[in-house]
Amino acid sequence: MIGHGFMGAAHSVGWRQAPAAFPLPAQPVMTALVGRDRETTAAAADRWGWQETSTDWRETIARDDIDIVDIVTPGDTHAEIAVAALAAGKHVLCEKPLANTVAEAEQMADAATRAARSGIRSMVGFTYRRVPAATLMRDMVADGRIGAVRQVRAGYRQDWLADAEAPMTWRLDKDRAGSGSLGDIGAHAIDMCQFVTGQSLTSVSGVLETIVKERPLLAASVGLGGTAGAGRGTVTVDDVALFNARLESGALASFEATRFATGRKNALEIEISGDRGALYWNLEDMNALQFYDATADAGEQGFTRILVTEPQHPYLSGWWPAGHMLGYEHGFSHQVKDFVEAIAVGAQPSPSFDEGLRVQRVLDAVARSSAEGSAWTEV
């Protein structure tokens, strides 16, 4: 695994727990953790169970005993590492968004296509697809339980930047992160919409806004839009993204991605309205799916809360008795399960790099639309 911050911890739990929860066809060995700083990388390896460490990712991906490379670094390094790892014959799992630009994502998707001809697999880490309730939502839409999709409302709301004096981080630097709320969390809402409906977004109309344009620099953040002694750095990404979109079927969708929704900690939400019913899910109530059956008797209609903890629900057979909740970390175990199983049978895992590229093109279209006064823009 290359990188060891927040996502490094989450992915590590997934690699460690998946073999205990599921009968995997191959046993992952957490061989090497790669980071820039020798001491912090060693501390992360000790904490999360990696056998050894390195500060040279190129040297690590060249090793014969490495089969999979898991990339959890900031977006500006995804393309270089992924393309090199695929060329070295390694299966690649890469965190979302796939890259910082469409050009980089296209380069990665092309490299994945070439590698697939030799049986090398790649996947992008839109982990929320693997929350059992979200997967069940996709299955119910595919089964026609709500009929034809008429409208989608999706959003991802957080408030961790609501304090204007919260310090600069790499996520607020366009060169490192690519974009702000749009790419960081909006990408999840876009992927969730496309995953659950089975349809791509074809055009968008949006606006991006940077609410707080300067933030304090910590010692570790000097260079993120500021200089030593300057005290404050320039925020070069969006804080809020609002956009409408049209699906392949012609149905309309609306999206919000913000890190300024005071009181919302991790509210990824999606509601799909069809001609036979509706479905609603919120990550802050992640084990429950709301279902409205418009074909039921009028006197019995209303949203029904489905507690998604039964063994017949997606992924639940590997965990606890019915009614015992899963948490944030379980999606990463499900991600490992699906990735390892796909590699073992020679199948293309999903979401593929092509699917990651599709999301990247939506992000780009929203940014172009905002720059052109919210004009409708083709994806």
Render pLDDT for 113-127 as a digit per residue (tens, 0 to 9). Answer: 999 999 999 999 999
Predicted local confidence at residue 218, as pLDDT? 82
End-to-end alpha carbon distance in the chain: 32
The answer to whether the beta carbons of residues 78 and 69 sit under 8 Å apart is no
Q: Which amino acid is at 206?
A: G
Q: Which residue ranges make up each domain of the chain?
A: 6-128
Say if residue 177's pLDDT is above 50.
Answer: yes
Q: CA 131: distance to chain centroid?
A: 12
Tokens 């293309």 belong to which residue? 348
The answer to whether the beta carbons of residues 121 and 89 sit under 8 Å apart is no
pLDDT digits (tens, 9 = 90+) for 71-107: 999 999 999 999 999 999 999 999 999 999 999 999 9
The predicted model scores a pTM of 0.95
Distance CA 183, CA 166 (A): 20
The answer to whether the beta carbons of residues 97 and 75 sit under 8 Å apart is yes
Range 88-98 burial, b when 16+ CB lie within 10 A, else e? bebbbbbbbbb
Q: What does the mean pLDDT of the chain come to?
A: 96
pLDDT digits (tens, 9 = 90+) for 335-345: 999 999 999 99
Distance CA 373, CA 28 (A): 49
Residue 51 three-state SS: coil
Predicted local confidence at residue 225, as pLDDT? 53
Say if residue 302's pLDDT is above 90.
Answer: yes
Say if residue 149's pLDDT is above 60.
Answer: yes
Q: Which amino acid is at 185?
A: I
Please give the helix or strand (H or E) that residue 71 lies within, else none: strand 68-71
Region 362-374 average pLDDT: 98
Predicted local confidence at residue 230, as pLDDT? 60
Distance CA 31, CA 94 (A): 17
| CA distances from residue 223 to 72, 237, 238 in whole angstroms, order as listed | 22, 15, 19
pLDDT digits (tens, 9 = 90+) for 197-228: 999 999 999 999 999 999 999 865 545 555 44
The answer to whether the beta carbons of residues 178 and 100 sit under 8 Å apart is yes
The answer to whether the beta carbons of residues 168 and 221 sit under 8 Å apart is yes
The answer to whether the beta carbons of residues 178 and 101 sit under 8 Å apart is yes
The CATH-assigned architecture of domain 6-128 is 3-Layer(aba) Sandwich (3.40)
Predicted local confidence at residue 224, as pLDDT? 59
pLDDT digits (tens, 9 = 90+) for 215-265: 999 865 545 555 445 689 999 999 999 999 999 999 999 999 999 999 999
- Indicate the pLDDT class of residue 291, thresholds 50, 70 and 90: very high
- Encoded tokens for 140: 């119910």
- Encoded tokens for 195: 């995953």
Region 30-36 average pLDDT: 98
Parallel, antiparallel, or unpaired: how do β-strands 91-95 and 68-71 relate? parallel
Give the whole-number percent of the chain exceeding pLDDT 90.
Answer: 96
- List 293's β-bridge partners, or say none: 277
Which bin fits 169, alpha (ψ -120 to 50), beta or left (φ > 0)? Answer: beta
Distance CA 84, CA 268 (A): 33
